[in-house]
Chain A
Amino acid sequence: MKIKVNGKDQSIQKNAVSISDLLKLNKVESIEMVSVQLNGNFIDKKIFDKISLKENDELDFLYFMGGGEK
């Protein structure tokens, strides 16, 4: 099925892929470093493995970025 990740189309296998699975698929090392928005809503990390993705879901991964000073 087709979903959108960070604005780009991505094809994934149909059998119940969770947000956790998708993060692994996209080589995100730790769920602690990313915030996930699914169809416009932030998802609690605790339920990343309980949410099954559906056709045409849109996800955004937002990563921590520090910055500036040192």
Chain B
Amino acid sequence: MNFTDIQIERYSRHIILKDVGVEGQIKLLEGKVLVVGAGGLGSPAALYLAAAGVGTIGIIDNDVVDITNLQRQIIHTTPDINRPKVISAKEKIEKINPDVKVKTYHELLTTDNINDIFSEYDFILDGTDNFPTKFLINDACVLSGKSFSHGGIIKFDGQTMTYTPGNTCYRCVFNSPPPKGLVPSCSQAGVLGSVAGILGTIQATEALKYLTGIGELLTNRFLIFNALSMSFRSVHFNRNENCPVCGINPTITELKLEEMPVCDL
């Protein structure tokens, strides 16, 4: 792959990084990342992936932009209200960087389409808002040997981990989705807009590290932060041998969208 003069200028701040360089930038331009959910996490993540020159960015989201999204979903603007999020996101990405090819999926991620869609990408970035989909993404990645970044936010808190084959998966930590209604969503409990930005940007950084093969990924550890105390904590863990999908005797061998049990509280 040969860079044009314009590309050398555009990516000059990457290229002068010893650990990235021309080689790393080529890996980014040849890289393919799927962003699941063009919301609070997916917005900043997609913007940074685009600016970095990730060659193919997929965006899957079945929703349209709502005014309540704009407090944190910074890829969308006021005139985008009522427009599909994938279209709004695609337009911004193309404006930031014409090198990027954007593929949009205006649909929900399901057991039927997940493997076909995931197979087109090197890395998956989970920016979803619901647990059944988070577990589905985990299971699909574990069963097909794909790497992904998990992200979660609520109020002033965020958490993220990166899965690569052979390492601790999301189900090693959380066995199954929590009962319905027990864990509040951002629409119920609120979230500071910039917290989504911090977390989504960390997820994008993991994707860039994964594509270029530099540094240490957030594997086998959970990064947890609280914006009020502005404290970050890394919790290390080992694989869980009782994990239902990657443990010694897995009970999950095919994909199923797990319903959240109704909360009995």
Residues of A within 8 A of B (CB): 6-7, 29-30, 32-33, 35, 37, 40-42, 44-45, 60, 62-70
Q: Is the CB–CB distance between B235 and A64 below 8 Å?
A: no
Provide the residues of chain A in CB contact with B126, threshold 8 Å.
67-68
Q: Is the CB–CB distance between B173 and A41 below 8 Å?
A: no
Indicate whether B182 reaches chain A with its CB closer than 8 angstroms: yes
- Given A40-B236, A66-B186, 15 more A-B residue pairs with CB atoms under 8 Å apart are A35-B173, A37-B237, A40-B237, A42-B173, A65-B158, A66-B152, A66-B153, A66-B185, A67-B40, A67-B126, A67-B152, A68-B153, A69-B40, A69-B41, A69-B42
**Secondary structure call for the A interface:** loop
Q: Is the CB–CB distance between B187 and A68 below 8 Å?
A: no
Provide the residues of chain A in CB contact with B235, threshold 8 Å.
37, 60, 62
Q: Is the CB–CB distance between B179 and A32 below 8 Å?
A: yes
Provide the residues of chain B in CB contact with A45, threshold 8 Å.
175
Chain B 174-188 interface 0/1 with A at a Cβ cutoff of 8 Å (1 = within): 110011001101110
Provide the residues of chain B in CB contact with A30, threshold 8 Å.
182, 265
Provide the residues of chain A in CB contact with B69, threshold 8 Å.
70
Provide the residues of chain A in CB contact with B128, threshold 8 Å.
66-69
B205-244 at interface with A (beta carbon < 8 Å):
222, 224, 233, 235-238, 240, 242
The 6 residue pairs across chains A and B that have the minimum distance between CB atoms: A65-B152, A69-B39, A68-B41, A69-B129, A68-B127, A69-B37
Chain B 21-65 interface 0/1 with A at a Cβ cutoff of 8 Å (1 = within): 000000000000000011111100000000000000000010100
Q: What is the CA–CA distance of A60 and B224 in the complex, to the nearest angstrom? A: 11
Q: What is the CA–CA distance of A38 and B200 in the complex, to the nearest angstrom? A: 29
Q: Is the CB–CB distance between B183 and A69 below 8 Å?
A: no
Q: Is the CB–CB distance between B237 and A70 below 8 Å?
A: no
Q: Which residue of A lies closest to B66 (CB)?
A: A70
The smallest C-beta distance from A21 to any residue of chain B, in angstroms, reads 19
The smallest C-beta distance from B73 to any residue of chain A, in angstroms, reads 9
Q: Is the CB–CB distance between A68 and B39 below 8 Å?
A: yes
Q: What is the CA–CA distance of A42 and B239 in the complex, to the nearest angstrom? A: 9
Provide the residues of chain A in CB contact with B134, threshold 8 Å.
66
Indicate whether B172 reaches chain A with its CB closer than 8 angstroms: yes
Q: Is the CB–CB distance between A67 and B173 below 8 Å?
A: no
Provide the residues of chain A in CB contact with B186, threshold 8 Å.
66-68, 70
| Given contact pairs A66-B154, A69-B128, A70-B39, A44 touches B242 in the complex (Cβ within 8 A) | yes
Provide the residues of chain B in CB contact with A67, threshold 8 Å.
37, 39-41, 126-129, 151-154, 186, 196, 199
